[in-house]
Amino acid sequence: MRSSALKLLRTVREQVSVSADFYIGMAIALLLLPLPWLCAWLLSSAVHELCHYLALCCCGCRVSAIHISLKGAFMETDRLSLGNEAFCAYAGPVGAAVLLLFAKQLPRTAVCVLMQSAYNLIPVFPLDGGRGLGCLLKRQFGEETGKRIFSIIEAFTLLLIFLLAAYSVIKLGLGLLPAAIAVIFVVRHKKINIPCKKKRLGLQ
Amino acid sequence: MAYQMQYGNDEMLRTFQAQKKRPKKKAVLVFLIIVIVLGLLFAPGVREQLIPGDAEVTKQAADDMILRIRSGERVVDAFAQFCLEIIENS
């Protein structure tokens, strides 16, 4: 029992890495947010990622590493089929929705789960909703056609987000925060790829 | 003729020198962003432009939402009511 616990601890230490920006983000969140809400958000995030992990295990996939950062948890896995990838992508937000059943006992966690699942189901890559939808479309219509359809849906969604932000700022008078959130969302999820720098060859 | 290359006992120094400078620049950049964000949030006048409305009313709306959920109301309905209260307050 003790040896299996030690083995599990060693596996977790080898596989799981936490980036520095996560700690910085948590420190800022501790300053700005009430502690019960922060704990609720952490719990909902942990359940969300656990559902992804369990789905990957169910698909018989090996998770070689987990990187936790402020953007979320990234799991390095073997290659998945399109159907399995869609299943694993949707498992997070849908699986975490189980916590809604315990809304009376954990109301803050239920609210965090609702917001997190709704956010992750937005059909924009690399969010779970975008990833799952992209895989399903490729599976149904083929690689090229599926990618094209997904691009149209993604562009429409981003346009909708901007219109919603503009409506919130101008009509509802919610300040600049909705516009800032929309800009951060687009910059974060649709960042431009920088070409790799040329590496120096070392000759001996 | 065989020869052997021997390196000095300064592996630790070479390891430090070989590390990329990028993580230090990133840390400085993140620190500056944090300082700017906190300064903007707590600077008078700027915060009201970014997040208008009374913070106490928002806190009260959040507490009411928690109470409604605990009394059995659906999470979606309670959250929608919370959002409506925020919009009315702004």
CA-CA distances (angstroms) from residue A63 to A15, A18, A75, A80, B6?
Answer: 8, 16, 7, 12, 41
The pLDDT assigned to A111 comes to 92
Confidence of residue A39 (pLDDT cuts 50, 70, 90): very high
Note whether B70 contacts A107, CB cutoff 8 Å. Answer: yes
pLDDT, mean of residues B17-30: 62
Beta bridge partners, A82, equal none
Note whether A110 contacts B90, CB cutoff 8 Å. Answer: no
CB B69 within 8 A of CB B53: no
Note whether A20 contacts B50, CB cutoff 8 Å. Answer: no
The pLDDT assigned to B86 comes to 82
Residue B20 or residue A175, greater confidence: A175
Note whether A175 contacts B76, CB cutoff 8 Å. Answer: no
Name the closest residue on chain A to residue B34, using Cα atoms: A28
The model carries a pTM of: 0.74
pLDDT over threshold 60, residue A119 = yes
What is the rounded CA–CA span in Å between residue A75 and residue A33?
Answer: 28
Q: Which two tokens stand for residue A165?
A: 């932000």
Which residues of chain A lie closer than 8 angstroms to B86, CB-CB? Answer: 174
CA distance B77 to chain A (A): 11
Note whether A104 contacts B52, CB cutoff 8 Å. Answer: no
Share of chain A above pLDDT 90, in %: 30
- Pick from A77-81, A197-201, B7-11, B70-74 the range whose average pLDDT is largest: B70-74
Name the closest residue on chain B to residue A180, using Cα atoms: B50
What is the rounded CA–CA span in Å between residue B10 and residue B64?
Answer: 64
What's the first-to-final CA gap in chain A, in angstroms?
51
pLDDT, mean of residues B25-49: 71
What is the rounded CA–CA span in Å between residue B34 and residue A119?
Answer: 24
Interface probe for B, chosen from A37, A111, A171 (most Cβ of B below 10 Å), is: A111
Question: Which of B34, B50, B90 faces A173 most closely, judged by CB atoms?
Answer: B90
Name the closest residue on chain A to residue B53, using Cα atoms: A174
pLDDT tens digits for B38-89?
Answer: 776 677 676 666 666 777 888 888 888 999 999 988 899 999 998 888 888 7
CA B35 to chain centre: 12
Confidence of residue B30 (pLDDT cuts 50, 70, 90): confident
Note whether A114 contacts B70, CB cutoff 8 Å. Answer: no
Burial of A117 (0-12, 13-18, 19+ CB in 10 A): buried
What is the rounded CA–CA span in Å between residue A131 and residue A123?
Answer: 8
Q: Which of A75-111 are b and which e, b meaning 16 or more Cβ less than 10 Å from the residue's Cβ?
A: bebeebebebbbbbbbbbbbbbbebbeebeebbbbbb
What is the rounded CA–CA span in Å between residue B48 and residue B37?
Answer: 14
The pLDDT assigned to B33 comes to 74
Q: What share of chain A is helix, strand, coil (3-state, %, to 5)?
A: 70, 10, 25
Note whether A24 contacts B30, CB cutoff 8 Å. Answer: yes
Q: List residues in chain A touching B: CB distance below 8 A.
A: 20-21, 24, 28, 32, 100, 103-104, 107-108, 110-111, 114-115, 172-177, 180
What is the rounded CA–CA span in Å between residue A160 and residue A169?
Answer: 14
What is the rounded CA–CA span in Å between residue A53 and residue A65?
Answer: 11
pLDDT tens digits for A173-200?
Answer: 777 778 877 877 777 666 544 444 443 4
CB B87 within 8 A of CB A175: no
pLDDT tens digits for A93-118?
Answer: 999 988 888 888 999 999 999 999 99
Angle, nearest 10°, between helix axes A20-32 and B22-42?
A: 10
What is the rounded CA–CA span in Å between residue A16 and residue B40?
Answer: 35
Q: List residues in chain B touching A: CB distance below 8 A.
A: 27, 30, 34, 38, 41, 48-53, 65-66, 69-70, 72, 75-76, 78-79, 86-87, 90
CA distance A189 to chain B (A): 19
CB B76 within 8 A of CB A161: no
CB B82 within 8 A of CB B65: yes
